[in-house]
Amino acid sequence: MSAIETHQDDLTSKFGMWLFLYTEMLLFGGLFIVYSVYRYRNAAAFHLASEELSVAVGTVNTIILLISSTTIAMSITAIRKHNKKLALILLCSTILLGLAFLVNKYFEWGEHLREHIYPGSNILALRGHGDVLFYGLYYFMTGLHALHIIVGLVFIVIVTVSVAKAKINADNFVLLENGGLYWHLVDLIWIFLFPLFYLIT
């Protein structure tokens, strides 16, 4: 395939990925709408409930994702400079950071679950409407986000294997770019989830 044709195909592929990202933005957008409405109607309760979340863990997780976005972005530079080894190191770092995020989430959720704060629990219902809605949104939005992290990690693993096999290389790296785009979106969503749940005290 000629260089022009490959380039055309790359642009087509990237275009498709961007359009898919737009659907994800709208998907989470719907939840941000729900959040906005219920935050408006239960401002005080949301403030108080937010204090029960650990800002420290949230901040660490935010920084983890920011670093992971950096590593995957750098891996594109690496592959384009024919530095396959560095690209692999960066991609593996991205995966590890993503897993670290999930582990943090697991412990965070675990704490709340131990206190019987979860959708449908009587304890939560007794605390009042504001709390029910805050935690409902918390679990649903961070849960959906975590699901996307998992999907993103699977995508990146596939990409990493392709890099190792040199199927992704300096002349053909659109799959890596697309994987990066998806991962950055996951990071973007968290950039907004973080202040809305942890910093509204």
Binders of another protein among residues 47 to 106 (CB under 8 A) are 55, 59, 62-63, 66-67, 69-70, 73-74, 76-77, 80-81
Count interface residues toward another protein (CB under 8 A).
72
Binders of another protein among residues 150 to 189 (CB under 8 A) are 177, 180-181, 184-185, 187-188
Task: Return the residue of 23, 44, 85, 165 that touches another protein, per CB under 8 A.
Answer: 23
According to the binding rule CB under 8 A, does residue 18 interact with another protein?
yes
Give min distance, CB of 186 to another protein, in A. 11
SS3 44: helix
Which CB sits closer to another protein, 15 or 107?
Answer: 15
Give min distance, CB of 56 to another protein, in A. 9
Is residue 68 within 8 A of residue 93, CB to CB? The reply is yes
- DSSP for residue 118: S
According to the binding rule CB under 8 A, does residue 136 interact with another protein?
yes
According to the binding rule CB under 8 A, does residue 29 interact with another protein?
yes
Residue 116 gets the label, from left (phi > 0), alpha (psi -120 to 50) or beta, of left
According to the binding rule CB under 8 A, does residue 30 interact with another protein?
yes
Task: Return the residue of 84, 112, 140, 157 that touches another protein, per CB under 8 A.
Answer: 140
Is residue 135 within 8 A of residue 117, CB to CB? The reply is yes
Q: Return all residues near 88 (Cβ < 8 A) that are at least 6 apart.
A: 160, 163, 164
CA distances from 140 to 9, 28, 103, 144 (A): 37, 10, 17, 6
Task: Return the residue of 40, 44, 114, 126 that touches another protein, per CB under 8 A.
Answer: 40
Which CB sits closer to another protein, 61 or 160?
Answer: 61
Task: Return the residue of 48, 128, 162, 169 that touches another protein, per CB under 8 A.
Answer: 128
Could you tell me which of 6, 176, 3 has the C-alpha nearest to residue 94?
176
Q: Which stretch binds another protein (CB under 8 A): 19-27, 97-105, 108-116, 153-161?
A: 19-27
User: Alpha-carbon distance 194 to 168, whole Å?
Assistant: 34
User: Alpha-carbon distance 194 to 142, whole Å?
Assistant: 10
